[in-house]
């Protein structure tokens, strides 16, 4: 499993790379002060075992797991790797790190 810093992820997204942004926070966190990244796939960590089939089309990746600070995203990445997913990264520092880098967020869940 790898980690990616916010600015590197932003650059890859701006280049048009297709990356699944898997936000594993709870729904109320998406509408909170940290917001969320555009075009996320939202699956709370606790739901991941029963909803993993929603990600089967992305088994080869890349997938970046996201949470508030990185802990839940790391657990999600470990779970996905054990399930056979290949190209998984964790957003280092989570949404806190993203905002500390001064990068834009969406504040309302679409």
List, for residues 59-90, the tens digit of each pLDDT value.
998 999 999 999 999 999 999 999 999 999 99
Residue range 98-107: mean pLDDT, rounded: 85
Indicate the number of domains in the chain: 1
DSSP annotation of 76 reads H
CATH assignment of the domain containing 78: 3.40.250.10
Q: Please indicate, yes or no, if residue 72 is contained in any of the structural domains.
A: yes
Q: Report how far residue 15's alpha carbon sits from residue 10's, in angstroms, rounded to the nearest whole number.
A: 9
In a domain, 61, yes or no: yes
* Residue 59 neighbours by CB distance under 10 Å: 13
51, part of any domain: yes
Query: Which are the catalytic amino acids?
Result: 67
Say how far apart CA 38 and CA 93 lie, in whole Å.
18
Decide if 107 is inside a domain: no
State the residue range of the domain holding 67.
2-100
Tokens of 37: 């990244």
In a domain? residue 71: yes
pLDDT at 91 exceeding the cut of 80: yes
Per the domain annotation, does 46 fall within a domain?
yes
Reported confidence tier of residue 110, pLDDT bands at 50, 70, 90: very low
Going by the DSSP 8-state scheme, the letter that residue 41 receives in this structure is: E
Predicted local confidence at residue 108, as pLDDT: 58
- The answer to whether residue 44 scores a pLDDT higher than 50 is yes
pLDDT of residue 60: 94
């Amino acid at each position: 499993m790898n980690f990616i810093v916010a600015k590197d992820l932003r650059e890859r997204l701006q280049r048009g790379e297709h990356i699944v942004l898997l936000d594993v926070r709870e729904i109320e966190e998406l509408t909170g002060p940290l917001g969320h990244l555009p075009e996320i796939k939202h699956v709370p960590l606790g739901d991941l075992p029963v909803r993993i089939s929603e990600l089967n089309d992305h088994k080869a990746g890349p997938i970046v797991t996201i949470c508030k600070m990185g802990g839940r995203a790391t657990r999600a990445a470990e779970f996905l790797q054990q399930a056979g997913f290949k190209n998984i990264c964790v957003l280092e520092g989570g949404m806190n790190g993203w905002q500390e880098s001064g990068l834009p967020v969406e504040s309302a869940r679409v």
